[in-house]
Each structure stands twice: as C-alpha cells, then as structure tokens.
Structure 1
Amino acid sequence: MFAAQYNPGDAQLTLRTDYPVPTPGPGQVLVKVAACGACHSDLAFIDGRAIPCPRVLGHEISGYVVKAGDEVAETFSPTTLYAVLAIHPHSQSRDGFPALFDSPGAGYDGGFADYVCVRADQLIPVPEGVSPELAAVAADAGINAYKFVVRSGGVDGSCKRTVLVIGVGGLGHQAVQIAAHFGATVYACDLKPEARAVALRLGATEAFSPAELDEKIKGGFKCDVAMDFVSRKATFEAAKSVLRNNFYSFPADPRLIIAGMTAETLEFSTMDTLAYNLTIVTPQYGSRADLEAVLELYAKGAVTPVVASYPLKEVNRVLDDLRGGRVLGRIVLVPGDE
C-alpha cells in the first residue's frame, strides 16, 4: 500500500508504495482511510524528533471498516463512514511518553496511508451528510474545539457568555462557530487579516489584530472566557489581562483556556488566580460524546470547518505550507490515486 513514513531526523516524509497492509489484532479493525487531516502535531513529531522510530504519521482519520480482528463482537457495515477517536479513553502513559503518544501516528502507524489498524471502540459512526474530509477534521480539531469551548469554557448556552478566541486557525475558527452557536458574544484576535475576516464571517462580533487588542484592553475590554490557541507569552499575557478586567464584576467566573501547544514557558502568579478569581485550564483531548456532539453540529450546518483537501502524495508540500503559516483553516489528505 501507499504510505508516508516518518524517519527520525528527516524533515520530509518518505513516500512508499511497498508498505505492508497491516493485519488487525485482537479487538482491532482494519480501516480503509478515506481522509486524514494534517496537523501541527505532525510537525511537532517531525521537527521535534519526538518519535524515536520510523512511523506512518496521521491521527485525524476517517474511513471504512474492511476487516475485523479476533474479539471484535460488533459487526461493521462496509458502507458506513467512521471517524476515529485519535486518543483512546484507555490510553496510558508509558516509557516516559504521555498518553497522547498512545495514538495513531504517534504510538503506532497512523492514517497517512491507504489502510490503518485501530481499536474497534475508537470508531464513531458519521452522520449522514458529513463528508469524509469533515469527519477527519472532527476527529481532532473538531472534538478539541468542542471540548475547549463547551466543557472547559462552560459555553453551553446555560448563561450568556462573552468569549475571546486568540488564533483563528484550524481549531480557533471552529471555536468561534461553536461559541456563537451556544449564544456567546464572540470576539477574535489574529495577526492575519484573512483570518480575522474568516472569524467575522463565521460569527464573531469583532476581530482584532494583536495591536488593536492591546488598545482595547487598555480601555477596559473584558470577556468571561479567553481561549488562547497560540499560547505564547504575548498571547497568554493578553488573555490574562482581558480576564483581569472582570475583577470588578465579582463574582464573575473568568476562565483562560490554554488551547495551543507551545515550547514557551508561560508564567502566572497566585495574584492572577486567587485575587482575580481566574481559572486557568489546560485541557487535552475530548471524549466520545464530544466527538459525537461536534459531528452533529457539522451535520446540522451549525459548524462548517474551512477545509482544503489534497492527494496524500502531496503530504510534504502540505506540511511545508503548515510550517510556513500558509494554511487557513484545516488541510486534509486523501489517499487513492498514488
């Protein structure tokens, strides 16, 4: 089969046409990959040399079951499209690596290939009308955006909230839509004018550049929830400042969601948390119920991710575009014509 293999130390993936089709073990199924998203996590694995051995990358997967291994009790229809939970609920930290690494494309071969083996209970049926490309996006960017907004941020329609989304990228532009869907007043901040335009189109009331946000903060701008999808020192400080302004509305429940992965050290003091009643949350992957919920939002048209798709054979060009910041929304790779 065709597969894009990561080799430690190489910035480019090796495109192979002779990669063996995997055999599902006990409790596993063999999935014919319909689409697989390309993610900044893939770049972290490649450029950070985080995986010590050759591996087929790709953890944002949708596809069709073609074979079940032993001990799989459920019967799967070959015409049913499934999204694959990237992190299994029973994933474990081992060998010094976090549970995050017990996932396709990290702990074992992933979806940058024609076929992938996953656990049978990682599969979530995709509602009618949701394409394989969107189902793949839901499996990582969608589920995380939903969890960060609804469960971590408390933006679930139970009360009126104001939300600031910093970084209108692959997750952030979905967070804008999810928060707006649940009745929040949404503000967005991004360095790119085109990203700010996307935020306004998708439901943001206003969209600021970083410099504009700084001026707004000096004027007393405040929100209930700040979601930092960039998570660098400057954005973290801006998010804290937006929430500190809530102090005079005590007993407000300001929440800062650190939603981006960064190598920078972010600092706060007890004055940030205790004196300002500030909750700082660093959530990870969502649950099965979160993935089902975001797929339903896709199916209803309440959330429409910005997605571009490319053949899997163009994976290295796509990853270079991600490195260079030339991607708006999300990119999905589709195998089949290699």
Structure 2
Amino acid sequence: MKAFQLVSPGKTELRDVDVPEPGPGQVLLKVTGSGVCHSDLHLLHAQQLPFPMTLGHEPAGQIVALGPQVNGWATGQHAICYIVWGCGVCRRCATGAENACERFPRGLVPGPGLGYPGAMAEYMLAPARSLVPLGDLDPVDSAPLADAGLTPYHAIDRSRELLTPTSTAVVIGVGGLGHLAVQILRAITESTVIAVDLDQEKLTAARGHGADHAVLSGPEAVPEILELTHGRGADVVLDFVGVTPTLSVGAGVVSSYGHLTVLGLGGGSVDFSASGPPQGLPWGATVSRPYGGTRRDLHEVLSLAQRGLIKVQVERHPLAAADDVLARLERGEVRGRAVLVP
C-alpha cells in the first residue's frame, strides 16, 4: 500500500509499505480521508520521532478486518478514530480522558500520526476502543472532526460555566480549528462570539459560520474588542495561533476570572507578573493549554455534526499531493481543512 511517511527531520516520501494485520483488540481501516493539520508541519521539523513514521492524525475509514477479541464492530462499517491512545487502564483513561493518560504525565500522549502509523495511507490500524461510528456522515469530509472538531470542543466545554447568554467568547485564528470553534460556540452556547484573524476572507467566512463580530488582528484589535464588550473584556478567549502577538491580544481582552485558552502551537509566550492590575493579567484570569479531548468529547462532536449543527469546510486532495498540500498549508492558502484521499 502507499503511505506518506516522514523518513527523517524535514524529509517526506510516498512509500510502498506492507498492509498491516490487526492484532488483539485492533481493527484494520481502509482510510477514506485523512485531515491535514498545522501539527503535521511541526512534526516535519521534529528531531526525535520513530522514523519512518506515517503521518495523519485525523483518520476516517471503513473497517475491513477485525483482530481477535474485537466485539461490537463489523466489516463494512464507517468510523472515525479518536486520536489519543493512552494506556487504557489508568485513572484518567478509565474516564475516557486518554488525552491526560498518566503514563505520559509531562509529555505528548501518542496516537495515529503522532508516534503510531497514521492515516496518510491506504490502510491503518486502530484500537477498536478508539472508534466512533460515522453514521450517515460523509466518510471523507468528516475526517477533520477527529482533531479540528475534538480540540476546540474540549476547550469550549472546559469553560462551559462561563459561556452564558450574557458572556463573550473571542476566537483568535478562524482557520482549520477556529472555523469549527465558532460553529461549536454557536451550537452549544448563546454567548456573543467575536472572530479575530489577519485574513479578511476568513473573517467573512466566520461571520457566515455564526460569529457576531469580526475583528481584524493588529494594533487596534484590543481596543475594538474592549469597545464591543463595553470595557468588560471577554469571558473566554480561544487562541488557535499561539504566537506572542495573538497571546498579547488574548491577555489584553480577557476579563477578570476569565479563561485564556491557548490551542495554537506558535511558540509564543504571555507575560505573567505577580502583581496587581494594570500590570499583567486581570484578577482571577486563568491561562491553560489543553490537549486534544476525551473520547466522550468526540462522541458529542459527531452528534453535533450528525444534527447538521457543525460542518467542516473541506478541500479534497489525492494522497500523492501531500507534499504540495503541506506547502500550501504553511503558506496559509488552505481554507478550512484539507483532506487527503487515498
């Protein structure tokens, strides 16, 4: 089979590899779609990975073989794959929070394309426990829900108690994950949603996805958001970029006892000063950086999609075009989410 692999830091190849055989508790998926993520760009420059590694951590596929001890699944079913594969037995995993598996207390919990062979291939193995039925969802366009839907849903759900009808949520970066964050906020809360981006076209799309306001990122973003919130600031800020300028916007507009949630991996930082306002963050503000989401979160994301409340903006590309798609993603030319189709 064909597999798009990272063979050394910065070097990728479309290679011929053997079709794997499912072991106990595993299923073999014929991949129908694999989403392409900015995290894949970060992996291109990683120095310590199990090379060669097949990329792709947004898998959707059709079950074609079952390993021993697999119950409740049948060949022919379409499924999406939960992307965090913890130990399955620790306290966190027992609650479905494999994204916080205690076997990896300070590091990255692995998953497909993130340590294990991923979905940028014709076939992939997955633990049966990680699968969620797709139902009548499109088996190609739904693939990005595995991360681009899961990650913002988890972040929003962690702040659910703050997201009341009188509150404001700011989404910084309305690309692959951010455009779904806007839709999720619209679907499960009645909060005012403010979209922030450098790209006017993405801001226009965000308004179409349900954002109440669209703010161009830059020097005037903070005063504009403060004016929109009557000086109170935003109860929840979701930063899907993670560079210092966007973090500065988030810190500048988060309200007292608000949540600044950083999901982008841009390598930026936000100053924290152990002193009272106006220096540093406002009283009670919380800064966090969640990872992925829980298995329950993925079920709830798919439920929203199945009810037509959220939909991924997708552009499809053949697996052989993976290098070109990654280059376009790095140049900021992908609208919504790119999906590779084997």
Larger relative strand fraction: 2
Question: Do these two structures clear the TM 0.5 threshold for a shared fold by scoring above it?
Answer: yes
**Aligned: 1:268 with 2:272:** yes
Report what 2:14 is aligned to. 15
Letter in 2 for 1:190: D
- Structure 1 residues 64-104: Cα deviation after superposition (integer angstroms, max 9, x where no partner): 111122232x142223210001102436587998233x211
Report what 2:108 is aligned to. 99
- Which moved further from structure 2: 187-196 or 259-268? 259-268
Secondary structure at the counterpart of residue 291 of structure 2 = coil
- The structural deviation recorded for 1:184 is 1.4
Letter in 1 for 2:2: F
Q: Residue 225 of structure 1 contacts residue 255 of structure 1 at CA under 8 Å; is this kept in 2?
A: yes
Larger relative helix fraction: 1
2: CA distance between counterparts of 1:89 and 1:48? 21
Secondary structure at the counterpart of residue 270 of structure 2 = coil
1: CA distance between counterparts of 2:32 and 2:77? 11
CA change 1:214–1:141 in 2 (3 A) is same
1: CA distance between counterparts of 2:192 and 2:19? 48
CA change 1:50–1:210 in 2 (3 A) is farther
1: CA distance between counterparts of 2:104 and 2:247? 31
Letter in 1 for 2:7: N
Report what 2:46 is aligned to. 48
- The structural deviation recorded for 1:50 is 4.5
**Aligned: 1:294 with 2:301:** yes
- The structural deviation recorded for 1:48 is 3.1
Report what 1:258 is aligned to. 262
- The structural deviation recorded for 1:267 is 2.7
- The structural deviation recorded for 1:325 is 1.1
CA change 1:96–1:177 in 2 (3 A) is closer
Q: Residue 86 of structure 2 contacts residue 103 of structure 2 at CA under 8 Å; is this kept in 1?
A: no
Report what 1:83 is aligned to. 80
1: CA distance between counterparts of 2:306 and 2:45? 35
In the TM superposition, what are the counterparts of 1:94-243 in structure 2 within 5 Å?
Answer: 98-100=107-109, 102-128=110-136, 130-149=137-156, 151-154=157-160, 159-181=165-187, 182-211=189-218, 212-217=220-225, 219=227, 220=231, 222-243=233-254
Secondary structure at the counterpart of residue 179 of structure 2 = helix
CA change 1:207–1:291 in 2 (3 A) is same
Q: Residue 235 of structure 2 contacts residue 259 of structure 2 at CA under 8 Å; is this kept in 1?
A: yes
2: CA distance between counterparts of 1:135 and 1:155? 28
Letter in 2 for 1:116: M
- The structural deviation recorded for 1:183 is 1.2
1: CA distance between counterparts of 2:139 and 2:161? 28
Report what 2:90 is aligned to. none
Q: Residue 44 of structure 1 contacts residue 50 of structure 1 at CA under 8 Å; is this kept in 2?
A: no
Report what 1:279 is aligned to. 286
- Structure 1 residues 144-193: Cα deviation after superposition (integer angstroms, max 9, x where no partner): 111111x2222687654211101001111111111122211100110001
Letter in 1 for 2:264: G
1: CA distance between counterparts of 2:184 and 2:41? 26
Report what 2:91 is aligned to. none
Q: TM-score scaled by structure 2?
A: 0.87
Q: Residue 50 of structure 2 contacts residue 115 of structure 2 at CA under 8 Å; is this kept in 1?
A: no
Secondary structure at the counterpart of residue 194 of structure 2 = strand
CA change 1:77–1:27 in 2 (3 A) is closer
Report what 1:250 is aligned to. none
Letter in 1 for 2:119: G
- Structure 1 residues 183-238: Cα deviation after superposition (integer angstroms, max 9, x where no partner): 11100110001111111111111111123313315653621111111111111111
Q: Residue 3 of structure 2 contacts residue 120 of structure 2 at CA under 8 Å; is this kept in 1?
A: yes
Q: Residue 305 of structure 1 contacts residue 330 of structure 1 at CA under 8 Å; is this kept in 2?
A: yes
Q: Residue 155 of structure 1 contacts residue 184 of structure 1 at CA under 8 Å; is this kept in 2?
A: no
CA change 1:44–1:144 in 2 (3 A) is same
Q: Residue 144 of structure 1 contacts residue 286 of structure 1 at CA under 8 Å; is this kept in 2?
A: yes
In the TM superposition, what are the counterparts of 1:32-71 in structure 2 within 5 Å?
Answer: 32-71=30-69
2: CA distance between counterparts of 1:233 and 1:78? 48
Q: Residue 162 of structure 2 contacts residue 236 of structure 2 at CA under 8 Å; is this kept in 1?
A: no
2: CA distance between counterparts of 1:166 and 1:37? 21
- Which moved further from structure 2: 23-32 or 211-220? 211-220
Q: TM-score scaled by structure 1?
A: 0.88
Secondary structure at the counterpart of residue 141 of structure 1 = coil
Secondary structure at the counterpart of residue 111 of structure 2 = coil
